[in-house]
Homo-oligomer: A and B are copies of this chain.
């Protein structure tokens, strides 16, 4: 029998009782931020649930991890605590459990309509890393910037390439992004261009949120890496392609990326994603032993990007991709990150890199979709090569329930 909640959840909702993603919200603009989970059109207030003594398991019973303005303390507790929270909450919200269902007073306090809350960053982010794990994306970028000789650098197949991103400018979904100013390539014999970026782009990414970290000097083995990942978020790694192209040799992307990165307010846990695991891609050459997993797995998550052009009413889907297209798994990413002894901390974010698929309509950014602005994309009446002022970009993802 399928688990059901006493809260009515529409069939097309992203937040059935099987999901229960974690976030941080303010019930009213003046309230303190506190943890919550999404259920249907409501946010369940975990501060209220905790105060009511409804977390009564061995780990969370006496913890103040939900009396916090972010999820870092909860994340630090690790998977046993996460599983305990999930099972307590699925029980509390289930159709057959009266504790919350029949307590009108408590329900009024604990369940806040989603349309009324203000979402905040779910974690305090110590460090943000961005990987480069889609082969299709790597190949297309190589073709565009370096030509057909060796579009993908040989190191790409030996290790999950990554760079450090800017943590301070990560914002929660809904925050306006200001078009960055910067320097771009000079045209022949002239000074570098300086002004607003003319190639503003989105990047369809997801990111792993780190749970328990590791000590400096103590790598995490690839087969233990999953225990250090709480869940996944959606991430839009806004990029100014013209600034990036001029600055990135030899030390990598800097100001072309650091003006803003948007993440989803909700973290979907790996436990919720477990039914949607799938095989990982064949890796050729086989990974070095420290990256070879006992059970390599990927996740079948459908992803979509929609753009609502400035001044128009409707959003248009510009790409349909899938998390499973990633060549390097999130556990390989995390383990590689620590192989040199680098320490991760709870709340750190590991972006996957742009998730492009093999088809022309599955490419994860405008750079690829318009081939660096050499062709236009139709969005109803409007056309776009790159983003224009006032455009709205929406990333969304879902896992399909298998019909039994």
Contact = CB atoms under 8 A, between A and B. Distances in A.
Interface of A: 126-127, 132, 153, 155, 158-159, 161-169, 171, 178, 180-183, 186, 191-192, 194, 213, 216-217, 219, 240, 243, 246-256, 258-260, 285, 288-290, 336-337, 339-345, 348
Nearest to A142: B250
21 contacts: A127-B168, A158-B183, A158-B246, A161-B251, A163-B163, A163-B254, A164-B164, A164-B254, A169-B216, A169-B341, A169-B342, A180-B339, A181-B339, A191-B288, A216-B260, A248-B250, A250-B252, A255-B340, A258-B342, A259-B341, A259-B342
B260 A341 contact: yes
Contacts of A348: 168
Nearest to A253: B251
A182 B255 contact: no
A126 B164 contact: no
Contacts of A182: 339-340
Interface centre among A153, A181, A240, A252 (most CB of B within 10 A): A252
Contacts of A260: 216, 341
Contacts of A252: 163, 248, 250-253
Contact of A158 (B181, B192, B248): B192
A187 to B, nearest CB: 13
A52 to B, nearest CB: 34
A166 B127 contact: yes
Contacts of A258: 164, 340, 342
A183 B156 CA distance: 12
A126 B163 contact: no
Contact of A126 (B167, B178, B285, B337): B167
Count of this chain's copies in the oligomeric assembly: 2
A180 B341 contact: yes
Contacts of A290: 194
Contacts of A194: 288-290
Nearest to A164: B164
Contacts of A240: 340
A344 B168 contact: yes
Interface centre among A250, A255, A340 (most CB of B within 10 A): A340
A288 B259 CA distance: 20
Given A163-B252, A191-B285, A216-B259, 18 more contacts: A126-B168, A127-B166, A158-B186, A158-B246, A164-B164, A164-B166, A168-B343, A169-B341, A178-B216, A180-B340, A191-B288, A192-B288, A194-B289, A194-B290, A252-B253, A255-B336, A255-B340, A258-B342
B339 A255 contact: yes
A248 B132 CA distance: 12
Contacts of A243: 340
The 10 closest A-B pairs by CB, nearest first: A252-B252, A180-B340, A164-B164, A178-B217, A163-B251, A259-B340, A255-B340, A258-B342, A251-B252, A259-B341
